[in-house]
Structure 1
Amino acid sequence: MDIGITTGGQMIVMILTFLLNKVISMRLGPTQYMEYSLIHKTAGVITYVMILSLGIAIPRYIAIYRSKKELNKEFICLTASFCLVLLSTTIIFFLCLIFKDDFAKLIFGRETKYELYVIPTLMLALQMGLTTLLYSYYRGSDRFFMYSVSQCVVSIGLLLISIIVNRLIPMVYIMSIIGVIFSILSFWRIWKNYRIKGCTIEKKTLKAEIKTLARYSIPRVPGEFVLFSFTTVPLIIINQKIGPEQAVAFSVSLGIISAISPFFRYIGMVLLPYASKSIAKDSFKDLDRKMKYLSILYTGVSLLGIIFVLIFTKFVIVILYSSEYVQYVETVRIMIFSLLPNAIYLLLRNPIDALIKFPINTVNLIISFLVMNLIIYFSDSIAMYAFSFFIAYTILGILSWGSWTVLKRRNLNSMKNR
């Protein structure tokens, strides 16, 4: 049922992502679209440092507390997460604004106009962080209908803004402000609901929960940082090596993969609270059976997506972007093969996080990330830049599958020995 609701919701989100990409690419043109892509991806990197991997911790612990019917602990967990995010956000904003010039040069280039991009990037990171926390809470509390609805509302809001506003910086500012307001109002309603049910917070229990969340989530921050740097850092390197006019080919290719990926990403996210509850209830075999079905589904959909894009590459580019971007066909055809190993990773990363506290995903991501950037750094052809993404995602997919296999055997053996 949860997967069915999430699948339907993610199909709508995927369509809205298609439309959003197309509208922005047409409104801004190739060069400014590359700048938007850098702003968006950089904001994603900042977001997952800002929220300290709580997007993983919240659904895990909320799901465990809910399965044990510990409502007050849910409330304390949510409040503790806000305390951690408030602290980290304050530090990150302070550092980025103090070193604004260096930050702008590192990400965007040496033109003085790019200093104006720093605050919009931080605002977009705040919006993405708050919406991520909101979605994470809905997943952990088994409210998958609200999880899908809230994503659709935010996506529709962003799409409308992109249609109305045709200038890059005002567009980013308005998107950020609207998303922040929506998230704050949603959290206020959730917080009031807990208070109505009689939930309270004591200083001692709040401190204990902050420590619990921090111990689980902070070791995962490097992995989250690498995950959302996975495409951002290569784009920055490629942009500096060949310039935005050619580097946009990689933004287009990644945009096509990202437009298909919500199907995998968000269904996979359902598995984190589900796996956490399975472990709490000692029902790992049910999880293993579901993972086998989903692995077949993910492989089939990935292969269909790859075949479709290979056959109708120009059509896909025109639909998602415009005819201006058709010149980047060959890069898209190479990079679309990354879809399958990326889908495997997206399927397995959440169950892996649920099964073990040690951040295995972080290790896998760092290895893959280093390989990709070394290939890009020492290469001097667009084809090799494109192949580096496929090679890195393939390594990530293999490492994720190996990690899942080891953890699965360990859990099944543990159940036999009881």
Structure 2
Amino acid sequence: MLTFKLAALAFGVEGFGAYAVARRAISILAFPMMLGLSVSLPRCVASLPAGKGGGKGGVFLLAAWLIAVPGMAALTLGAATRPGAMAVLMFGRGGHEELVWPTVAAVLGLCGHTIVYGFEMGRMRLGAAGTLWLVNLAAVPPAAVALSGGEVPRALLGLGIGWSVASAVAGLSLAAGLRIGTPRAWGAALRELVRFGVPRMPGDLAMFGLFAVPTILVAHRSGLEPAGLVSFGLSLVQMIGSVFTAAGMLLLPIVSRLRADGRIGEARRLVDRSLMASLAAGVLIVLAAEASLATVITMLLDEGFTPAAGLARRLLPAAVPFVAYIVLRGPIDALDVWPHNAVNLGLALAVTSAVMIFGSGPMEAATASLAGFSVLGLASIWSVRRCLAKAERVSRAERKVAGALAASP
């Protein structure tokens, strides 16, 4: 919010639009290059036996770079040879070629951040990972805007340089003690990362759709002004869910380690307590937001936007099941290779789209979103129960085999 406030002051209405679109383009362009590394890398490193996440985990770090570098090189080559086409790809039209290279620089920096952060999370170096997250996502963006001199290209270039430098410094601290193994080990690690990460990419696309489809359909059927109100309401849902993002991120490597050690009962208790505490906190936040919504809207936007309060009140309850998904997606990915989260997100998007068939107004869009997020939350709870039960069965079978081998002469 601080970054966008600074951007609005520094760039004006037109420049702010270009900056906002570029920030969206950065996230979208980085997504296919990563092939699910944001989930697969911490999960695979954390699943290594205790004491192996540092040295042996270096094989996964190298494999992650082998996955990301070809896409990064292709994007750089495209910016160098076809800047006009890249401007159309990023911004929907030509005439913004001056933003192409700064945007590409930011994409490359974000890719580096994703890999280094994911590896640190997998090794359970939570202090180092949290520091990198704080620097890159909380400090660099507003600093880049503040030092841009009111020029959008300089702000985007500062974003890329800041992310790259911070990730490089953090990455250099990883070099000591890492073992990268043999080419055969690289291939095995690469296959494991791709096998786990790629099936989760459709889920990320469905997540984009879950927040975009209601807004787009309202824009086409009812106009931009009501679509903007729907978008703002969904942004509030997303903001509430973001409060619990750290919980889901932490649970991914922790539950992965517990599963690798066969401590499924401990994992179940941790997941249950985390879910109950998060849901209770989510309900309280929603109630507080409902009570102070007019003040929140005036603070974030302007007094002229207070008519958005009615629609936002209808959308806010969707934040509670969304919190359930945010908290449980990490444990679900930690417990099973099957992409349960991607399936659940696809189901939620299908429900949202189906309900939108019956109405095109903003209130109908709010109802559709509430239905979709409710399905997502319930499906996440059901999936984590299934994954825990499956992990317990596998763990019991492994213990029986180990016992039989120990008892044999």
Query: Would you say 1:284 and 2:279 are equivalent positions?
Result: no
1:135/1:319 CA distance change after superposition, 3 Å: farther
Contact kept? 1:30, 1:248, Cα under 8 Å: no
Query: Would you say 1:349 and 2:332 are equivalent positions?
Result: no
The match for 2:240 is 260
Which residue of 380, 383, 388 corresponds with 1:400? 380
For 1:227, the aligned partner's letter is M
Query: Would you say 1:89 and 2:72 are equivalent positions?
Result: yes
Identity of aligned residues (%): 21
The match for 1:149 is 131
1:46/1:392 CA distance change after superposition, 3 Å: farther
The match for 1:159 is 142
C-alpha separation in 2, matches of 1:186 and 1:300: 36
Q: Which has the higher contact order (CA 8 A, sep 6+)?
A: 1
1:312/1:163 CA distance change after superposition, 3 Å: farther
The match for 2:159 is 175
The match for 1:80 is 63
For 1:175, the aligned partner's letter is L
Structure showing the higher helix proportion among its residues:
1
Deviates more, 1:344-353 or 1:148-157: 148-157
C-alpha separation in 1, matches of 2:152 and 2:65: 30
1:37/1:329 CA distance change after superposition, 3 Å: farther
1:105/1:311 CA distance change after superposition, 3 Å: farther
C-alpha separation in 1, matches of 2:230 and 2:151: 22
1:280/1:40 CA distance change after superposition, 3 Å: same
Contact kept? 1:108, 1:236, Cα under 8 Å: no
Once the two structures are TM-superposed, the CA of residue 225 in structure 1 deviates from its matched residue by: 3.0
C-alpha separation in 2, matches of 1:412 and 1:404: 12
C-alpha separation in 1, matches of 2:159 and 2:369: 29
1:178/1:254 CA distance change after superposition, 3 Å: farther
**TM-score, L = length of structure 2:** 0.84
1:53/1:118 CA distance change after superposition, 3 Å: same
1:242/1:36 CA distance change after superposition, 3 Å: farther
Deviates more, 1:368-377 or 1:111-120: 111-120
Figure out how many residues of one structure are paired with residues of the other and give that number.
396
Once the two structures are TM-superposed, the CA of residue 298 in structure 1 deviates from its matched residue by: 0.9
The match for 1:40 is 23
The match for 1:59 is 42
The match for 2:118 is 136
For 2:48, the aligned partner's letter is Y
1:317/1:141 CA distance change after superposition, 3 Å: same
Contact kept? 2:321, 2:377, Cα under 8 Å: yes
1:174/1:387 CA distance change after superposition, 3 Å: farther
Once the two structures are TM-superposed, the CA of residue 116 in structure 1 deviates from its matched residue by: 6.0
Contact kept? 2:46, 2:122, Cα under 8 Å: yes
Deviates more, 1:380-389 or 1:253-262: 253-262
Once the two structures are TM-superposed, the CA of residue 160 in structure 1 deviates from its matched residue by: 2.4
C-alpha separation in 2, matches of 1:49 and 1:38: 18
Once the two structures are TM-superposed, the CA of residue 102 in structure 1 deviates from its matched residue by: 7.7
The match for 1:3 is none
Once the two structures are TM-superposed, the CA of residue 410 in structure 1 deviates from its matched residue by: 2.6
Bigger radius of gyration, 1 or 2? 2
**TM-score, L = length of structure 1:** 0.82
SS of the aligned residue for 2:276 comes to helix
The match for 2:407 is none
The match for 2:306 is 326
Contact kept? 2:222, 2:361, Cα under 8 Å: no
Listed as ranges, the gaps of 5+ residues in structure 1 are 1-17
SS of the aligned residue for 1:142 comes to coil
Once the two structures are TM-superposed, the CA of residue 366 in structure 1 deviates from its matched residue by: 1.5
Contact kept? 2:106, 2:157, Cα under 8 Å: yes
The match for 1:304 is 284
1:314/1:23 CA distance change after superposition, 3 Å: farther
1:231/1:63 CA distance change after superposition, 3 Å: same
Query: Would you say 1:269 and 2:234 are equivalent positions?
Result: no
For the aligned residues, what is the CA RMSD? Answer: 3.2
1:293/1:310 CA distance change after superposition, 3 Å: same
| Deviation string, structure 1 residues 303-343 (Cα, Å, up to 9, x no partner) | 11111111111221233344454343233222222211111
Contact kept? 1:52, 1:218, Cα under 8 Å: yes
